[in-house]
Structure 1
Amino acid sequence: MTTFLMPDAFSRPSSFAHPGLYNDYEQETGKKHYNYYQWVCFVLFFQALLCFPKWLWKTWENGLMTHIVCELNTGLRTEAEKNKKKEILIKYFLKHWNQHHWYTFQYWFCELLCLLNIILQMVFMNRFFKGDFLLYGLKVLTLDDEDQEDRVDHMIYVFPRVTKCIFRKFGPSGSLEKLDAILSFH
């Protein structure tokens, strides 16, 4: 079973144990369930697997740029060494001007895959967080503009540190009892 908060309790007077906690736990329609905490490690692993454009580019590129640059990207060279290597690099590019079209195509293809990957992962994360991901940053940034007494902390709304759950157990007479419990994620 998932833990939950009562979203309308964020706007109620703050005489409760924590924002979002309220004693209307029998009201099913007003609950916001948080069932994604148990899946976070799997989602992060899945997102890591979706970074295949980097692996694809590393395979296609095969160290060519490192070889072409001739260690010009290190700062421990004298000016004479740098100028000599720059001259070699310029001669190489002038001689082989039209020979790297496939390399360029592979590069832009991987960049396009990365862009598509980012967009799809944002859509996926928005679905994973039940629509709270895309506007999360904007809501957190506007948090400072509101009066501290009247604002709803969106970080606590999306990633609560304290939630409620219904704990069901059998009582002394053998009947099912429902207990209201508070869970802390510290």
Structure 2
Amino acid sequence: MTSLLGIVNKATKVFFDSNSISVDNWTFKCFYRVTGALCIASSFLVTARQFFGSPVVCDAGAASDGIRPEVLDGYCWMYATFKIPIEYKGPCASSEQEMLEGIIYNSYYQWVPIYLFLLSALFYLPRCLWLIMEGGLMKFFGKGTTTRVIEDPEEKRDKLVEFFRANIHNKYNIYYFGFMFCELLNVFVVLLAFWLTDKFLNHRFLAYGFKVYAFYRLPPEEQSIGPFINPMCYTFPRISSCNYYRYGTGGKQESINAICILALNIINDKVFLVIWWWFVFLLGVGVTRIFFRSIQVNSARLRFYLMKIRMSRFFKRNEDMDKIRSYICNCSRGDWFVLYQLSKNLNRPFFMDFLSKLTRMMEMEKKNPNCKGLDEGDGFFDMMLQPNLRAYTSDDKDDKDDDDDEEEEDKD
């Protein structure tokens, strides 16, 4: 078990880039990080034969003479019809269900591990899109400013303030609305995952969790009688039937019917039950977040209070509080969103100093009659390329120049 958890942990770290810089929020992380880890862990779990045994074990009864068990099991795992005879009265079987549906082909069991892995990749797509749109902006601002002790804080503060005024001020509304689009895309991905999983499980997933909850709320004596069918057995039957064809001693083909036990389905039914409830939770969180964003977009006062809640201890003792309030309430939505993201990543005293200096500079620029008018903003592709082409190249160039100066000093 320890080795299995180690593999899952390594796969999760490789698949999900976890670092100290945050470019989203906790709800966004629930979609791509928690869901991805859950699907990958489940994918490894359903392939752990050393814990749950063979996925299928078949018994041909009196006709089993001359049949190798591993051959029969392998054949039925690949080509079984999974139709339980009407006469079968064992557990997890319903003659009414079989009469209504006829022959059932449940070959999707073989694809469960692969499907779960692909599902985790699907939930990571909005994250990939946002990383492209974000362009490494938070990483640039966070270079040397996230630690407890910051070297040359005033120099870095002035450099970042100037960069913000020149490259971000009134230009990054698309940055904010791009993030909102990715949040909306997360909700769409959940709905798509519901639909795909329902198709994958032969249209038995949409109400799967609710039906299981309703079934197990019934008294035990009612669960085994009447028209009630255990949804877990209905979606993931433990008992199946398989028609195995072989050539007999006379050279003619003969059909042998075998009853098979699908041991792996005692894990599959619980895995997809957890996934169903997790999808419901994600859907609720995602819709709530979109509703909150719609209010946030139209309320400058709410945006200020969100910043105040995050920086309350520093706001209380700041001398420029009135100016900061005025700036945050009147700045563009893109400016506020970039500042709010910075408040989550930068050293908090440094960020407070940065925000105060930025507010004073904006106040001076507003009072200066020779200052330029408001920039209408960059286009979509300009916004994505801006941090890379302007910030990184200039920053890397400065670092390279510093290194060259140090080498010349060493030579002297």
- Give TM class, smaller chain: 0.5 to 0.7
Taking a change above 3 Å as real, the CA distance of residues 28 and 112 of structure 1, as seen in their structure-2 partners, is: closer
Q: Which amino acid aligns with 2:80?
A: T
Q: Which amino acid aligns with 2:133?
A: W
Q: More helix by proportion, 1 or 2? A: 2
Q: Which amino acid aligns with 1:4?
A: F
Distance 1:176 1:29 in 2: 28
Q: Name 1:107's counterpart in structure 2.
A: 179
Preserved contact between residue 6 and residue 30 of structure 1 (Cα < 8 Å): no
* Larger Cα-atom Rg: 2
Return 5+ residue gaps in structure 2 as ranges.
1-78, 149-156, 224-228, 264-412
Deviation, structure 1 residue 52: 1.3
Q: Which amino acid aligns with 1:169?
A: R
Q: More strand by proportion, 1 or 2? A: 1
Q: Does 1:2 align with 2:80?
A: yes
Q: Which amino acid aligns with 1:59?
A: I
Q: Name 1:82's counterpart in structure 2.
A: none
Q: Name 2:247's counterpart in structure 1.
A: 170
Q: Which amino acid aligns with 1:178?
A: S
Taking a change above 3 Å as real, the CA distance of residues 170 and 148 of structure 1, as seen in their structure-2 partners, is: farther
Q: Does 1:53 align with 2:53?
A: no
Q: Name 1:157's counterpart in structure 2.
A: 234
Q: Does 1:118 align with 2:185?
A: no
SS of alignment partner, residue 180 of structure 1: strand
Deviation, structure 1 residue 183: 2.2
Q: Name 1:134's counterpart in structure 2.
A: 206
SS of alignment partner, residue 19 of structure 1: coil
Q: Give RMSD over aligned pairs.
A: 3.6
Taking a change above 3 Å as real, the CA distance of residues 170 and 116 of structure 1, as seen in their structure-2 partners, is: same
Q: Name 2:114's counterpart in structure 1.
A: 42
Preserved contact between residue 81 and residue 103 of structure 2 (Cα < 8 Å): no
Distance 2:83 2:139 in 1: 53
Q: Deviations over 1:116-158 (max 9, x none)?
A: 2221221111111111010101111012222324422211221
Taking a change above 3 Å as real, the CA distance of residues 29 and 158 of structure 1, as seen in their structure-2 partners, is: closer
Q: Which amino acid aligns with 2:127?
A: K
SS of alignment partner, residue 251 of structure 2: coil
Taking a change above 3 Å as real, the CA distance of residues 6 and 161 of structure 1, as seen in their structure-2 partners, is: closer
Deviation, structure 1 residue 62: 4.1
SS of alignment partner, residue 242 of structure 2: strand
SS of alignment partner, residue 205 of structure 2: coil
Q: Deviations over 1:81-104 (max 9, x none)?
A: xxxxxxx8xxx7xx7764431211
Q: Which amino acid aligns with 1:109?
A: F
Distance 2:101 2:259 in 1: 19
- % identical equivalent positions: 31
SS of alignment partner, residue 5 of structure 1: coil
Q: Deviations over 1:8-66 (max 9, x none)?
A: x6xx9xx73332277xx9x8962332111112233234323323111121232245446
Preserved contact between residue 242 and residue 258 of structure 2 (Cα < 8 Å): yes
SS of alignment partner, residue 259 of structure 2: strand
Distance 1:29 1:131 in 2: 13
Distance 1:97 1:58 in 2: 21
Preserved contact between residue 168 and residue 176 of structure 1 (Cα < 8 Å): yes
Distance 1:148 1:101 in 2: 58
Q: TM-score, normalised by structure 2?
A: 0.34
Preserved contact between residue 171 and residue 177 of structure 1 (Cα < 8 Å): yes
Deviation, structure 1 residue 112: 2.1
Preserved contact between residue 80 and residue 105 of structure 2 (Cα < 8 Å): yes
